[in-house]
């Protein structure tokens, strides 16, 4: 990493739009990265502290003075504090997202919302069963009410017991491992750390509390709380988001979809949804595709209205509705530059603030819908679950009205568009396998499939866009590894044409035959970033079938082009759940050898998962394969 690449993207559609940007002088994220060079070394290594006003302080990374902040904090403390604050921010964003479907479900159950309903009663009953809710004699709405209550209780309860979602979703032997570890640490140090989250809202608060001035200074103690906070995300906030969104909007089923900027159709009013939460976009899509709005669009001279999307909002509606994907994180500015987007409609997270100015170069309306994500200069049309229809219509009409302002001379849409098969949550995967995951467990055990790698996370302009996502997916299936993807990574792979059934031809023989037999692509789209919880469910189910702990399973998680705090939180809950995690570049921890050692070495003995960093494609592939093979060898020798 670290060196700025000349090549900004491997995606031909991106390169075409970047040529337009260079020619027309539109500023992009890559230009601003250049302007930021050289970036601060203190920040990169995590040794800068601004927690109190005796600072800001920074530690000299080369070991010379200053080796302490004004208060006396050393690099270990500062780095650990900064890291777990990042984890807390990531966990908070996923979990705050998860809260919304839980509240919506409660409203529906109470008869207070008629705009939404329960799309998937079967999933509702499955979640209720999993949570241990007795459903006999209850109506569907009563069951929904119970599930909503249990979910909301996970956010706000005040006792010290682990949250119910974790208790009921995490394999018992994993939970016991955490309890054993707590006892061991207590016996050897006299202190009682807690690994298992007590409430989803409490753990990030605990992080902020203990990292405030003059509180917790022990890097191990800080990192353990970071783990607890991350687990509250993976097995709490994100799990609830995934499960309840399935209940509300339907559990994903396999379907065909299209990906890349070529999905933009110049004849239509194009609405680009962007962000993370599907509650609004679900309604917006229904409204846009309805006959009434299509007719209005035709009156304005368009052939109709088309909804496309970016990042995780589109992953949600792609999985459930087959909505076309315009691109991932680094495509957002490029999509506007096609000159054929009437409205960018955003909810929360991963939306570049540069979009406001850029859309002003075009007729494009930039519409914010969440009071949590305001952008100066944007059109704000506040979303509200109680008025879903009215707000959706207002947004669609605003987009249609922009169509006549479009300047045809500025329209240039790359041709690239790829066909993909998407929609493989654990339920759909099981269906393809004949009802449950048994065939996959067998294939893992007998080596037909060498391992499973979850490639997830963002784009980052420091890395050639999609290079590692696509490269790793391609290399790994060739080596017989089943790839599951979420987030911007899954979009990268779809854009590269690696998500079709025919891609099995590129896979190693065992994987190829397995995919053909079960009619599966060798790279499975598992959804949005909160759907990394689906990977936890997948790995847990497989481990239990093989009578293993997740830490013995030949699986790896990879966020090769990670950007956000959320990605670090996901990596942390994967690692804490027993999954080794590959990152394509270093998190800001290098300034502390202690923190680095704990996360890359000690964690392995403690919890089975750990981090490793490798930014080059082939060495990263080799490192991932080595982890898978080592785990295979260990569990084979166990039998």
Residues that bind ligand SF4 (CB under 6 A): 49-52, 54-57, 69-71, 73, 78, 213
Q: Are 234 and 574 in contact (CB under 8 A)?
A: yes
**CB 276 → ligand XCC: shortest distance, Å?**
6
- Spatial distance between the Cα atoms of 429 and 176, rounded to a whole number of angstroms: 28
Q: Which residues 220-249 are close enough to bind ligand XCC by CB under 6 A?
A: none
**CB 75 → ligand SF4: shortest distance, Å?**
10
Q: How many CB atoms lie within 10 A of CB 149?
A: 15
Binding-site partner at residue 363 among ligand SF4, ligand XCC, none, CB < 5 to 8 Å by type: none
- Whose Cβ is closer to ligand XCC: residue 329's or residue 432's? 329
Three-class SS state of 281: helix
Q: Is residue 217 near ligand XCC by the rule CB under 6 A?
A: no
x/- mask, ligand XCC, residues 253-292, rule CB under 6 A, reads: -----------------------x----------------
Whole-Å CA distances, 105 to 5, 118, 152, 635: 47, 8, 10, 42
Host H or E run for residue 555: strand 555-559
Kindly determine how many residues on this chain lie close enough to bind ligand XCC according to the rule CB under 6 A.
Answer: 14
Q: Is residue 488 near ligand XCC by the rule CB under 6 A?
A: yes
Q: Are 315 and 531 in contact (CB under 8 A)?
A: yes
List b or e across 454-481, with b for residues whose CB sees 16 or more CB atoms inside 10 angstroms.
bbbbbbbbbbbbbbbbbbbbbbbbebbb
- Whose Cβ is closer to ligand SF4: residue 56's or residue 377's? 56
**CB 387 → ligand SF4: shortest distance, Å?**
45
Q: List the structure tokens of 387.
A: 């008025």
**Which one of 445, 458, 511, 581 is in contact with ligand XCC (CB under 6 A)?**
458
- Whose Cβ is closer to ligand SF4: residue 49's or residue 325's? 49
Q: Are 61 and 72 in contact (CB under 8 A)?
A: no
- Whose Cβ is closer to ligand SF4: residue 414's or residue 588's? 588
**CB 487 → ligand XCC: shortest distance, Å?**
3
Whole-Å CA distances, 287 to 119, 125, 272, 301: 17, 29, 14, 19
**CB 147 → ligand XCC: shortest distance, Å?**
25
- Spatial distance between the Cα atoms of 197 and 588, rounded to a whole number of angstroms: 25
Q: What is the CA radius of gyration of the chain?
A: 24
**CB 570 → ligand XCC: shortest distance, Å?**
8
**CB 613 → ligand XCC: shortest distance, Å?**
18
Q: Is residue 98 near ligand XCC by the rule CB under 6 A?
A: no
Binding-site partner at residue 55 among ligand SF4, ligand XCC, none, CB < 5 to 8 Å by type: ligand SF4
Residue with tokens 């391609």: 474
Host H or E run for residue 97: helix 75-109
Q: Is residue 487 near ligand XCC by the rule CB under 6 A?
A: yes
Q: Strand 255-259 relative to strand 418-422: parallel, antiparallel, unpaired? A: antiparallel
- Spatial distance between the Cα atoms of 47 and 80, rounded to a whole number of angstroms: 9
Q: Which residues 506-565 are close enough to bind ligand XCC by CB under 6 A?
A: 529, 563-564
Q: Is residue 566 near ligand XCC by the rule CB under 6 A?
A: yes
- Whose Cβ is closer to ligand XCC: residue 13's or residue 488's? 488
Binding-site partner at residue 457 among ligand XCC, ligand SF4, none, CB < 5 to 8 Å by type: ligand XCC
- Spatial distance between the Cα atoms of 206 and 619, rounded to a whole number of angstroms: 38
**Which one of 339, 439, 457, 522 is in contact with ligand XCC (CB under 6 A)?**
457
Q: Are 125 and 143 in contact (CB under 8 A)?
A: yes
Q: How many CB atoms lie within 10 A of CB 519?
A: 12
**CB 489 → ligand XCC: shortest distance, Å?**
7
Q: Given the rule CB under 6 A, which residues bind ligand XCC?
A: 276, 311-312, 329, 350, 457-458, 487-488, 529, 563-564, 566-567
């Amino acid at each position: 990493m670290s060196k700025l690449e000349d090549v900004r993207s491997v995606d031909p559609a991106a390169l075409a739009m970047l040529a337009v940007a260079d020619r027309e002088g539109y500023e992009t994220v890559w230009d601003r990265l250049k302007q930021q060079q050289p970036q601060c070394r203190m920040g990169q290594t995590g040794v800068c502290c601004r927690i109190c006003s005796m600072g800001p302080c920074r530690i000299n990374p080369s070991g010379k003075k200053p080796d302490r902040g004004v208060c006396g904090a050393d690099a270990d403390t500062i780095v650990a504090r900064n890291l777990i604050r990042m984890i807390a921010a990531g966990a908070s964003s996923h979990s705050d997202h998860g809260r919304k479907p839980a509240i919506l479900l409660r409203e529906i159950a109470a008869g207070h919302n008629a705009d939404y309903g329960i799309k998937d009663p079967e999933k509702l009953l499955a979640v209720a069963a999993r949570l241990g809710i007795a459903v006999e004699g209850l109506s569907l709405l009563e069951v929904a009410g119970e599930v909503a209550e249990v979910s909301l209780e996970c956010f706000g309860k005040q006792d010290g017991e682990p949250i119910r979602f974790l208790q009921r979703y995490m394999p018992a032997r994993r939970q016991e491992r955490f309890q054993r570890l707590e006892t061991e640490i207590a016996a050897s140090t006299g202190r009682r750390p807690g690994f298992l989250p007590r409430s989803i809202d409490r753990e990030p608060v605990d992080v902020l509390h203990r990292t405030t001035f003059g509180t917790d200074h022990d890097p191990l103690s800080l990192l353990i709380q970071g783990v607890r906070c991350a687990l509250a995300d993976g097995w709490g906030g994100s799990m609830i988001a995934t499960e309840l969104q399935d209940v509300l909007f339907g559990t994903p089923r396999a379907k065909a979809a299209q990906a890349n900027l070529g999905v933009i159709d110049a004849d239509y009013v194009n609405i680009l949804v962007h962000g993370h939460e599907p509650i609004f976009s679900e309604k917006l899509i229904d409204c846009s595709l309805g006959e009434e709005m299509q007719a209005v669009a035709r009156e304005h001279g368009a052939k109709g209205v088309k909804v496309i999307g970016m990042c995780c909002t589109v992953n949600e509606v792609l999985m459930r509705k087959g909505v076309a994907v315009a691109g991932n994180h680094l495509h957002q500015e490029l999509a506007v530059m096609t000159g054929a987007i009437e409205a960018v409609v955003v909810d929360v997270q991963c939306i570049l603030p540069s979009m406001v100015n850029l859309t002003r170069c075009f007729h494009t309306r930039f519409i914010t819908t969440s009071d949590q994500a305001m952008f100066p200069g944007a059109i704000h049309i506040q979303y509200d679950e109680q008025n879903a229809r009215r707000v959706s219509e207002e947004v669609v009409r605003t987009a249609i009205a922009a169509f006549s302002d479009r300047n045809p001379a500025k329209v240039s849409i790359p041709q690239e568009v790829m066909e993909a098969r998407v929609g493989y949550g654990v339920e759909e995967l099981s269906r393809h396998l004949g009802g449950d995951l048994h065939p996959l467990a067998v294939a893992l055990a007998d080596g037909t499939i060498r391992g499973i790698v979850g490639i997830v996370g963002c784009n980052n302009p420091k890395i050639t866009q999609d290079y590692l996502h696509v490269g790793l997916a391609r290399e790994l299936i060739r080596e017989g590894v089943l790839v599951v993807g979420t987030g911007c990574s899954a979009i990268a792979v779809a854009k590269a044409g690696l998500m079709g059934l025919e891609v099995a031809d590129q896979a190693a023989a065992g994987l190829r035959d397995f995919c053909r037999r079960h009619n599966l692509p060798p790279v499975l789209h598992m959804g949005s970033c909160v759907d990394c919880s689906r990977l936890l469910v997948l790995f847990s189910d497989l481990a239990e079938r093989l009578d293993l702990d997740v830490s013995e399973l030949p699986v790896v998680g990879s966020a090769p082009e990670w950007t956000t705090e959320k990605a670090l939180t996901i990596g942390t809950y994967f690692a804490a759940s027993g999954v080794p995690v590959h990152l394509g570049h270093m998190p800001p921890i290098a300034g502390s050898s202690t923190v680095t050692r704990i996360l890359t070495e000690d964690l392995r003995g403690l919890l089975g998962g750990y981090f490793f960093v490798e930014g080059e494609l082939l060495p990263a592939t080799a490192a991932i394969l080595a982890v898978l093979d080592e785990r295979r060898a260990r569990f084979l020798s166990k039998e």
